[in-house]
Structures are given as C-alpha cells and as structure tokens.
A and B are shown apart, each in its own frame.
Chain A
Amino acid sequence: MKDEVTRDDRVANLKGLGCSRKRVEDARFTQGKGNYVDDMNLPGMLTGDFVRSPYAHARITSINTDAAMALDGVIAVLTAKDLEPLGLHWMPTLAGDKQMVLADGKVLFQGQEVAFVVAKDRYIASDAVELVEVEYEELPVIVDPFASMKSDVVLREDLDPTAPGAHGPRKHHNHIFTWEVGDEDGTNAVIDDADIVAEESMYYHRTHPCPLEPCGCVASMDKVNGKLTLWGTFQAPHVVRTVASLLSGIEEHNIRVVSPDIGGGFGNKVGVYPGYVCSIVASIVTGVPVKWVEDRMENLMSTAFARDYWMTGKISATKEGKITGLHCHVTADHGAFDACADPTKFPAGFMNICTGSYDIPIAYLGVDGVYTNKAPGGVSYRCSFRVTEAVYFIERMIEVLAIEMNMDSAELRRINFIKKEQFPYNSALGWEYDSGDYHTAWDKALKAVDYEGLRKEQAERVEAFKRGETRTIMGIGLSFFTEIVGAGPVKNCDILGMGMFDSCEIRIHPTGSAIARLGTISQGQGHATTFAQILASEIGISADSITIEEGDTDTAPYGLGTYGSRSTPVAGAAAAMVGRKIRAKAQMIAAYLLEVHDDDVEFDVDRFVVKGAPERFKTMGEIAYAAYNQAIPGIEPGLEAVSYYDPPNMTYPFGAYVCVMDIDVDTGVPTIKRFYALDDCGTRINPMVIEGQIHGGLTEALAVALGQEIAYDDMGNCKTGTLMDFFLPTAWEVPNYETDHTVTPSPHHPIGAKGVGESPHVGGVPCFSNAVQDAFRPFGNRHTNMPHDHWRIWKTANDLGLHD
C-alpha cells in the first residue's frame, strides 16, 4: 500500500518559493556543454577583427588598406568612409550621445575601433589587422576631467559647443551635462547653520565589469528571405532588435536577436558596441554570416567601464548626531563618448539614492558629466544604475562624520536610520522607499559579530602596536546599504524611449508540464531555476516540469532585459501575474469538472478543491488535460497566458555588512579575518541561489575595493589591459563569507521579492573599504581613496608615520 501523500509532500514536490533547488543550468555549464556565441559555427562564416588606435587622441591623416586587402583570405576592410553612405559610421548611445562606430577623422581613446577587417578565419583577420597602415597625427591628451573642463582642446569636434546636449545646457566644449536633484539653497542654509559639518572628497576609481566571456556576436543576413539574425552577448536582446531595426531600416519582424548562454554580464553587455554594427554591415555586404568576438584586452580597454566618479560631500548634524543635511557634487568622467547605460531621464543613474538608509531631511545632488580621452562607458557594474557610487559616498560620509564627532559609526548609523514605521518613506532626493526594517537588521548583524567585543579587541591591538608588540592593525568595516532596483515604472524609466516593463508568457501542455518565456536573459543568475519556482508556487505545477526560455526575440515576449537587479522585481512579478491568470482559468475549469460554482472551489498547492470537501478536487494536471481535450461551455480551449508587468515602484533591498580585517602596516597586505553579510531581499525565492549571488557580489566588491582598476598614464595609455594587472580574484584571495538574512517583503511586488544579485556588491565595496580605513582611524586617518592595493595601504601607513 502506498504511503499517504501529505500536503507537506505536495508542497515539497512543487519546489516552489523558498526551496533551495539546485540550479538546472549547472548540468550543462559544469560539463562544458554550454552554448556561447563563440561556440557558433555557421557554414561559410567569416570573422571580423578590429584595427585599433594606439593613441588616446590623434587625427587620422590616412588609412591604407591595400596590403591587407591583398592578403589571401581577406574579404573586406571597412573604414568610416565605407559606413558613411549607410549613415552607420556613428551610432546613437544609450545616453543620448553618439559614438563613432569606426574612427571618423580622429580617435579619442586608446583602443578605439579604426577599421574592421573581414576574413575567412580569425588568424587571417589578425594578420590583416597588422597590414592596415594608419597614419596618425598626435593631439594633446586629456585624462583628467577637471583639466578637461579648463582645457582649450576640443575633444568632440562633432558637437556644437554652444548647443545643449541630451540632458540640457553644456558649460564648456568638454562638458556633457549638469544634473541636479534636491534643494541646493536650502541644503546649504542647513549646513551653514549646523552644529557639526563634515566634508570630504573621494574618488571612486574607474574599473571594469570584466565578465569571463568577453563581448561578441554572429550576424547573418539571409538575402533570400530578407531576414537578419543576430546572436550575441546581449543583456537586453529585445532592445537590440528595436535599435537594430531603427538604425538599419530593416523591419523589426525581419530581425531576430538571440542571446545564447552568456558568461557573465555585470552591465558590460547592456550597450551596443561597434563590433555588432560592423558585423551586421559585413554580413549584409557579403551575404554570409560574420562573427566578431573580442579578446580579453579588447574587452578591458574598449568596452564599457564602470564608476570614475569624483565625489565631494558635506554632511551636517546636531551635537547628538542627528543628520540634518547632505550636499553632494560629482564630477563624472565619461570618457570619449557618453555611453552610460541609464534610464533616459537619469544621466547619473540613481545617484540620488545617495541619502542612503538614513532619514536626512534635506539634500542636494549635482553631477557634471565630462569628456576625456578614455574609453566610453559608465555602466552599472553589478549594481543598479550608479547605486554603488551613491552607497559608497554615503557610507564614507557617515564614517567621516563619526570621526568628526569622535563617535562610534555603528551608533551614528542607528541614530539616523529610517524607522520601520516611516515606510513607505519619501527621501529628500525624490525616491519612495517601499519597505524596510533597518534597526532589526543592524542589531542582528552587530550581535552576530559581537561588535563590542571586536571594538575591544581592536583597542587592545592599537595599544599592542603602540608598544611595539605587533606590526598588524585591525579594522572593522561597517556598511549598511539600501539598494534601489527593478527599473522601473514606465512613467519615469525608459531606455531610448522604450518603457522598462517586463514580461512572461506561459503555455501549459495537456499533460500538465509547461514552458514559460520571459523578456529577460540570464547571464548566470539562474533564471531557469528561480522563475520556474515562482510559477510553480503560483500554478501548482512542479518547477521540474516547467521549462524557462529567454533570449530569443522570435519566441520570447518583449522585455527590457537583465541588469540593475530588475529580473525578479519586474519579470519575476510578470511571472507571478501570468501564473494568476492561469489559475483564474484553471479555477473555472475545475469548477466545471467538479460540477460546482466557480466560487465554491479554492486553490490548494497543486489542485483546486471544493470548499469544505477537500476529498473532492482536480489536480492541475487534470485541469490542463481537460483544458485541451474537453469541450467546456463558455471557455475556449487551451491553457496559456501572457503578462506584461509595469511595476508601480522600484524595490529597495537592504543589508548590513561587517568586515574584520588585519593589515600588515609594513607590507600593506590586508587579510580578511571575517566577513558577515546580512541581506534583506524581501521574499526569498531560492536561498541557495541567493547565497551564490551574495558570494559572487562580495567577491567582485573585494576586487574593486582592494585593487581592481582601469588606470591610465598621462598619455592616455591603459596600464591595466591584461589580467596580470587587472585584479580578478580567485579562490585564493577570497575569504569565507558568513551569510544571514531578515525578510521584509516588498509591499507592492506580487510575491514580495526585491532582487538581490547586486546588493552584495553595493554593500560590499564600502564595507571592505571601511575596514581598511577603520584600521587606520586610531592613527589619524580620515579618508583614503580606493583601490586599497598593497602600495596604497602602505602609503597610508607611511603618511601616518607608522613606519617611523
């Protein structure tokens, strides 16, 4: 006799919300069976490769392609002159600027695309690149945004210096925009009259997302049926299709964009790169598929960077430590073209979340974007738009204010947190925080690490150091962050005019399994695992019986893609909503089958039961079969639905992090002794996937805080173009992470989930940095800039006289 299947068993069989289900993607990834763009090989496919500029700023006096064209196997060498008749030698950027596809008369950064060689294979293409003769006339190079704003040298000769840019008036020929939020006069008045004011300037250095798989595509123009297919590393395939249609004039139904497996994105694969445009043109010209895949150096030197924000802050407080006002100004180095990937109305992203987790009554933010001779970009590397910069800024300002007040910064945070009962909370800079319970999270974190004990240990260590008994000092890094993710309400968030909703479509098969498609695209986040869990809980079909598909614009519903932790808040909400549509129809079918009124059945895990008579039920499997095979009066056959979800608000995940670090003052080597991360991402869909996201985001935070940098010399040469110098941490450098959580659901999200992929990065960077800076606080340190590599840490010790 079979064991009785309990309700708990049925819940467990669903593998729905809250289940640490193993990632279904990993079987193929761990066995080398993934399908990445560079795995594609189509008959007759050609390969493209770029001639790139060795100079950061130079005029091009001539390009001679004869020798390259003479090489056996070279099909074409494209220059700006070839693209100009098509109007494709420049392309629009996501930020309302335009960018050269191929150098049009001059180059503006080292590594800029100058010519595109198309050849029979990758080797011939590379040989031909060496044969293209380009003559340059060097121009003065500007790598400093402050110098740029004073320089007579005009970087962008294509722009009318007196005309406004995409975001309003420009102050100087190298200025891009000024963006202001908040009340500057009011803020200044509060700060001028305040008991305490702390000021600090900080540089959030330029870095790079550096996904393991670089960017690339395969373009295939089928001249017989007029269809263009583009496979590529796209975080937003549907947007790429629309943009490709608008640029090329090919009708959108004749373009199919496919994102196959993607080896990490982190914001690097949101934008459109010259390689995509050149591959499409080359395929249209040659009539055969053209592949372009960049190498690691090209990825680091020419695709979208992150950060490069020079931030100056003033924060005021009462004698008791209650913050009264915050003033922030940013000089943003955008490089040669403004290619930031932000919603249109937010040229500095959501930098105006810079009041952080604190109840600050008045604030002002001003951002000036500036051109320099560096690679373009400004993407959100594992964070929602510029949130990492904002959180780093406020978490450093809190520390500086604590120093100014000779106060413990944990207590200073506690005094100023937005209180649980204040949510939904309207910030001084215009956001409505949906939900939070910061005090509970903070207390839990500090208790978990025995914060008071740590401070005692630190004080003892300082004394021991002063007595000459040790040469290591101890830092306790704190950070409390509030993220703003899930862009976004269409009313204020769009990219190139396309509203930032997302979508889910589901088709239940007659035998009770299903396929669902979404407008997002996983780059490692595990969507095929977690979206199935949301649907499983909503419709009562096991996650194991639901296939998730994304990334093919011919089959998936339109969506804005995956970045800014928007997949769960937006597409995840669409999944929940589409599940409810299925359930509503299923309810009518069940009622018909059970011969009762619709209102007399209710959903129970995986079935509809007659109210008060749970032994009378129809499972979702039975309902699906009936939906297709039984004539039901008034109900059309089939069981499928689609939902487009425009969120009413963003979601605001938060967290409390503590890092304990030892620093060898003689060598500058930091050792992380402990890292505790408490995250509140609302309803938790898959705790194991969340933990994986936390580990990954913290590791990228460690990288950025402790050494990962895109650095240039005065001539605009990129000094960090290989993984020898660009810090990508391995298992060796990464500490053990302790993860913890609280759960404060989002009140407006259908299942209360908030998004988590980027939280650990946003909270982690200031936490690691604060640990370094806190170690030196007892010796007089106030602020030092990241990245805290050995030499910079050593220099801090040296400047503080610790080597004397």
Chain B
Amino acid sequence: MIPAAFEYHRPSDIAGALSVLAEHGDDARVLAGGHSLIPMMKLRMADVPHLIDLQDIDVLKGIKIDGGTVTIGAMVTQHEIIVSDALFAAAPIMREAALQIADPQVRYMGTIGGNVANGDPGNDMPGLMQCLDASFVLEGADGTRTTKARDFYEAAYMTERDDEEILTHIVFDATTAGYAYEKQKRKIGDYATAACAALITKDGDTVASASISMTNLSDVPVFSEAANAALVGTTCDAAAVKAAVAAALEDIDPTEDNRGPVEFKMHVAGIIIARAIERAWSRA
C-alpha cells in the first residue's frame, strides 16, 4: 500500500492544469478528492508519474443556482452538497443521495467531479446525473464543450472525456419532481448492491414524467427510457410499477461479486427500483 514515486503538480488555474496534461499525456492524471485514484496508486494498479491536484483552482469550486439552472463545480465535495440548503431546495435528491455515499470523513474529501468523471460503475453520482439529465462541462486545449451525462459513459472507467480534458462543471435544471434515491449496500463505505434514482412529476392523478436510473447494476450507469415510458400516463399503481421494474431490469446487466450472484442482484434491483418509484411518487 505504498505508491510508486510521482511528480506532484498543484496548478492554480485550469490553464495550468491543462498544460501539465498536454505535456505529459497518458503519464498525467488529475486528482480531485482522491478516494478512487489514491487507493489505486497505493495498490500500484494505477501508474501516475504526474499527479495534478486540482484543489487550488477556485473556478472548480462552489454551487451556483441561477434561475432554474444549477451549476456545481467539479471540486464541490459531497459534504458541501449535503449542507447546501439552496441546492436542497433546487434538487433535494442530491442531498438524499450524497448522504448515502460512504461516511462523513470520505464525504469531506470526495468530490462530485471525481465521482462522475472516474467512470466507476459503483459511484452513485453518475446514475443520479443521468436521472437529472445533467450536462458535464469539459475543458481542453481546444476550448470548452458540453456533453450529456446520459451519453458520457461508455464502459467501466471509459468515458467520453478525452484524456487531455478536465471535467469542470456539472449543470442541470432545478426540479420540483417527486424524488427518491434508494440504495442497498452491505455496510457504510460499500458500493451499492443495487441503487436507483427516481424523479417523477404529476399531472392530476397521473404520472406526467418519470426519470429512472440505476447504479452498479451494469458496467455503466443505466438510464431506463423503457421504465420511464411504462410509468408516464399511469396512476403509478402496482401494475405500472411492476411494468416499470420489468422494463428497467431488461436494461441492466449485473455481475456476480462478493455481494452475491446475478440472480440475487436482479431480485434486489427489482425491489429497490420499485421502492424508489413508490417513494418518488409519494413525494410528487
């Protein structure tokens, strides 16, 4: 658990970070909260000759809520997400989900940017960002571009982000939808056995819109259009929930690990998805 030697860079602006990335290419990685990258370096599973610590870059910090648009800097910690009342008012699901990530010590350091950019299927924020239909702002040598969370994830640890780009901000619309983040885990600090984010809006007695996404049930976060479709227009009764669960389960592909075999995970996923939908509907 001792990392190999590395050069430590601590730029004070994005341009500085990008220039180190440009200079060292594959040999450089940016560091946010460090809860994924540092353990991998200690295990010597990640070889990072040049580590670029982003903590001195002020533009990556802070939560802004401007009209109906929420912008969160990549270096905002899970703790800051939890304690921001403004963010809670704009998107209460953020606090509910962040409280289910690890423990307070981890949340003081772990950032939303690191969580979404690393591409770890166990991380909770990617699925949640898909549920919120968030956009990711990426900055590289050629300027800034925006991509959708729902398009960002390609495979485990593989994302649309170019190696020489930095994910700087996360942007999504404030929402008054009924919400729920349901997560089953073995213990504090564990990845989800199954987790589901749900946002549901109501029109009279029926579902006006639904957004269902899942965590750690495939090698990427899964946003289920089919589950959404199964709910819209229904009264979110038992039959509709059942149909949505069935549709969502079609979209996932969990693998066996120490949490249990596929059969168990599929069953638990169905339960967790149903509970998320029911709780979100109860708040819609």
Contact = CB atoms under 8 A, between A and B. Distances in A.
A791 B261 contact: yes
Interface of B: 1-2, 4-5, 44, 103, 184, 186-191, 193, 258-261, 264, 267-268, 271-272
A349 to B, nearest CB: 29
Interface in A94-133: 122-123, 125-127, 130
B184 to A, nearest CB: 6
B190 A790 contact: no
Contact of A729 (B2, B187, B267): B187
A791 B267 contact: no
A483 interface: no
A790 B184 contact: yes
Please list the 7 inter-chain residue pairs (A to B) with the smallest Cβ-Cβ separation, ordered nearest first: A791-B260, A126-B2, A295-B1, A732-B188, A666-B271, A725-B258, A791-B264
B103 A727 contact: no
Interface string A699-724: 00000000100010000000110011
B1 A296 contact: yes
A794 B267 contact: yes
Nearest to B256: A791
Interface in A757-804: 789-791, 794-795, 798, 803
Contact of A727 (B2, B187, B271): B187
A123 B6 CA distance: 12
Contacts of A790: 184, 186, 193, 259-260, 264, 268
A739 interface: no
Contacts of A137: none
B187 A730 contact: yes
Interface of A: 49, 122-123, 125-127, 130, 295-297, 666-669, 707, 711, 719-720, 723-725, 727, 729-730, 732-733, 789-791, 794-795, 798, 803
A667 B184 CA distance: 8
Contacts of A666: 267-268, 271
A794 B188 contact: no
9 contacts: A130-B4, A130-B44, A667-B184, A668-B268, A720-B258, A732-B103, A790-B193, A791-B259, A791-B260
Contacts of A798: 267
A733 B184 contact: no
A607 to B, nearest CB: 52
B190 A724 contact: yes
A803 B267 contact: yes
A730 B188 contact: yes
Contacts of A725: 258
B267 A719 contact: no
Contacts of B267: 666, 794, 798, 803
Nearest to B272: A667
A719 B264 CA distance: 19
A730 B189 CA distance: 10
B44 A727 contact: no
Contacts of A707: 186-187
A732 B103 CA distance: 9
Nearest to A126: B2
A669 B258 contact: no
Nearest to B264: A791
B38 to A, nearest CB: 14
A485 to B, nearest CB: 30
B278 to A, nearest CB: 13
A803 B261 CA distance: 16
A62 to B, nearest CB: 23
A130 B186 CA distance: 34
Contacts of A668: 264, 268
B8 to A, nearest CB: 14
Contacts of B188: 730, 732-733
A122 B2 contact: yes
B186 A789 contact: yes
B36 to A, nearest CB: 12
B187 A733 contact: yes
A771 B193 CA distance: 23
Given A123-B2, A790-B186, A719 B258 contact: yes
A296 B1 CA distance: 8
A252 to B, nearest CB: 36
Nearest to B193: A790
Contact of A724 (B184, B189, B260): B189
Contacts of A803: 267
B213 to A, nearest CB: 19
A720 B193 CA distance: 16
Contacts of B193: 790
B112 to A, nearest CB: 21
B271 to A, nearest CB: 5
A711 B271 contact: no
B103 A730 contact: yes
B40 to A, nearest CB: 12
A724 B188 CA distance: 9
B5 A127 contact: yes
Contacts of B259: 790-791
B125 to A, nearest CB: 18
A764 B4 CA distance: 43
B189 A123 contact: no
B46 to A, nearest CB: 14
B189 to A, nearest CB: 7
Contacts of A730: 103, 187-189
Contacts of B272: 667
B157 to A, nearest CB: 17
B137 to A, nearest CB: 31
Nearest to A709: B258
Nearest to A725: B258
Contacts of B187: 707, 727, 729-730, 732-733
A127 B264 contact: no
Contacts of B191: 724
Contact of A723 (B4, B184, B189, B268): B189
A724 B1 CA distance: 15
Nearest to B191: A724
Contacts of A130: 4, 44
A306 B190 CA distance: 24
A127 B4 contact: yes
Nearest to B2: A126
B258 A711 contact: yes
A794 B44 CA distance: 36
Contacts of B271: 666-667
Contacts of A729: 187
Contacts of A794: 260, 264, 267-268
Nearest to B42: A295
A733 B188 CA distance: 8
A179 B114 CA distance: 56
